[in-house]
């Protein structure tokens, strides 16, 4: 038999309010991680390569005519970049629900995630886009993706949506 405080904690963890809060925390983790990682990632690429990168992102959806486009195509490229960042952050969040290790150890999870994102983008996404030749896999590229993308997403999920909340831990 459980004591009164434990049963209150357990029932509160399964309540509709707790479920809504968990969903809000998940969305917050995904959007903050995607926004931070997407922002620093696109800034780094634009500073390193040029401010036409959003046009190249838009061209993957619209076609090569986007490279001639103006502000509309540039904004579309930025929107697509953030959409892709949200997809990657969602992938990390969902993986962290099955592998709590990812939220318990965000540094290790973020490093691994950054490597996988970089490899997937270079080996799958860019070749499928067929707009230009793919970049080689470099240590610099891997480190950049780890620091600017993997770690912000991992720490966002760690901070805003840990796998085990204190209420769930106390109830078990």
Q: Which residue is it, tokens 């950049």?
A: 144
Domain limits of the chain?
4-171
* 59: its two tokens: 């061209």
Rounded to whole angstroms, the Cα distance separating 164 from 130 reads 42
Q: What is the three-state SS of 29-90?
A: HHHHHHHHHHHHHHHHHHHHCCCCHHHHHHHHHHCHHHHHCCHHHHHHHHHHHHHHHHHHHH
Encoded tokens for 31: 């959007």
**In the prediction, which pLDDT does 10 show?**
40
**Which two three-digit tokens encode residue 29?**
């983790």
pTM of the model: 0.81
Are the C-beta atoms of residues 89 and 95 closer than 8 Å to each other? no
Give backbone dihedrals phi and psi of 117, rounded to 5 degrees, phi first.
-65, -45
Burial label, 38 (beta-carbon count in 10 A; 0-12, 13-18, 19+): buried
8 Å CB contact between 54 and 15 = no
Q: Which two tokens stand for residue 155?
A: 């720490």
Nearest CA-CA partner of 156 in 68, 65, 40, 25: 25
As a whole number of angstroms, the longest Cα–Cα distance in the chain is 70
Q: Digits of tens for pLDDT over the chain (172 positions)?
A: 444 444 333 444 555 666 779 899 999 999 999 999 999 999 999 999 999 999 989 988 898 889 897 899 999 999 999 999 999 999 999 999 999 999 999 999 999 999 999 999 888 887 887 655 667 889 999 999 999 999 999 999 999 999 765 545 445 4
Residue bearing tokens 């479920």:
19
């Amino acid at each position: 038999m459980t004591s009164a405080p434990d049963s209150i904690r357990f029932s509160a963890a399964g309540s509709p309010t707790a479920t809504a809060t968990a969903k809000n925390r998940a969305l917050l983790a995904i959007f903050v991680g995607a926004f931070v990682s997407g922002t620093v990632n696109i800034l780094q690429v634009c500073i390193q390569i040029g401010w036409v990168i959003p046009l190249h992102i838009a061209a993957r959806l619209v076609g090569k005519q986007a490279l001639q486009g103006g502000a509309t195509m540039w904004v579309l490229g930025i929107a697509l970049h953030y959409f892709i960042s949200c997809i990657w952050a969602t992938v990390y969040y969902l993986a962290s629900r099955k592998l709590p290790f990812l939220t318990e150890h965000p540094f290790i999870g973020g490093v691994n995630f950054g490597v996988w994102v970089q490899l997937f983008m270079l080996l799958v996404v860019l070749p499928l886009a067929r707009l230009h030749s793919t970049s080689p896999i470099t240590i610099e590229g891997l480190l950049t993706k780890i620091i600017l993308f993997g770690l912000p997403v991992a720490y966002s999920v760690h901070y805003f949506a840990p796998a085990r909340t204190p209420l769930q831990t106390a109830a078990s």
